[in-house]
Chain A
Amino acid sequence: QMQLQESGPGLVRPSETLSLTCSVSGGSLLSYYWSWVRQPAGKGLEFIGRIHASGSTNYNSSLNGRVTMSVDTSKKQFSLKLTSVTAADTAVYYCARGSDWFNPWGQGTLVTVSS
């Protein structure tokens, strides 16, 4: 069965760039959309954006143009970059398959923005 695994630094300094990678195993990355969702501690879920295996992207405008996503089909990975982070970007970040509903999800990775 398909599995997703997020990786990246758990601590990012304010004003710097958050960078995460999601590795896909147990299935093909091709022909699908891949998404990022985040969840601040004790709060709800926020959709960040999605990328197709072809490289086509759509981002949530609530992130004010700070988001960039990319995909590497040869490595079966896709990535998220969020620039100019602040404490408000502290959250568990999930990767997931899908462009409409999301299934499956990675286990999530906590990213803390702090100096």
Chain B
Amino acid sequence: EIVMTQSPGTLSVSPGERATLSCRASQSVGGNLAWYQQKPGQAPRLLIYAASTRATGIPARFSGSGSGTQFTLTISSLQSEDFAVYYCQQYNNWPLAFGGGTKVEIK
């Protein structure tokens, strides 16, 4: 079973700054990784799949990179609506698994 580890647990960023979130898999997942955003009281929203492909309607300030065991989600210039919890998820191996999340908070 693949374990997904996200870091940091909490990231404090000022609006307009860049945020870099990391996700590490316990073994290679190739490029089979997705990222989600979740705001309080809401369902997760798909941001990125296939490690770097933005889902429909996702702003260009969100970008994903990486392969194998190391992945990054970058938010180029944080907007007020971007403060949320972000989860990575691998779909290369069964069972599908999520990371523990990174909370992006206002600095």
Interface, chain A (partner B; CB < 8 A):
37, 44-47, 58, 60-62, 94, 96, 99-108
Known: A94-B43, A102-B44, A107-B43. A45 touches B94 (CB 8 A): no
Q: Interface code B33-54, partner A: CB below 8 Å = 1, 0 otherwise?
A: 0101000001111100100000
Give Cα distance in the complex from A37 to B96, angstroms: 10
Could you pull out 26 A-B pairs where Cβ atoms are within 8 angstroms? A44-B87, A44-B98, A44-B100, A45-B87, A45-B89, A46-B98, A47-B95, A47-B98, A58-B94, A60-B95, A61-B95, A96-B43, A100-B49, A100-B91, A100-B96, A101-B34, A101-B46, A101-B89, A102-B34, A102-B36, A102-B89, A103-B45, A104-B46, A105-B45, A107-B42, A107-B43
6 smallest CB-CB distances across A and B, nearest first, come from: A100-B91, A101-B34, A103-B46, A105-B43, A45-B98, A60-B95
Which A residues are in CB contact (< 8 Å) with B44?
A: 37, 45, 94, 102, 105
Q: Is the CB of A44 within 8 A of B101?
A: yes
Is the C-beta of B19 less than 8 angstroms from some C-beta in chain A? Answer: no
A64 to chain B, nearest CB (A): 13
Which A residues are in CB contact (< 8 Å) with B49?
A: 100-101, 103
Sort chain B's interface into a size bin: 20 to 34
The residue on B at minimum CB distance from A92 is B43
Known: A101-B49, A107-B43. A47 touches B97 (CB 8 A): yes
Which B residues are in CB contact (< 8 Å) with A100?
A: 32, 34, 49, 91, 96
The residue on B at minimum CB distance from A63 is B95
Is the C-beta of B55 less than 8 angstroms from some C-beta in chain A? Answer: yes
Q: Interface code B72-107, partner A: CB below 8 Å = 1, 0 otherwise?
A: 000000000000000101010011111111000000
Which A residues are in CB contact (< 8 Å) with B43?
A: 94, 96, 105-108
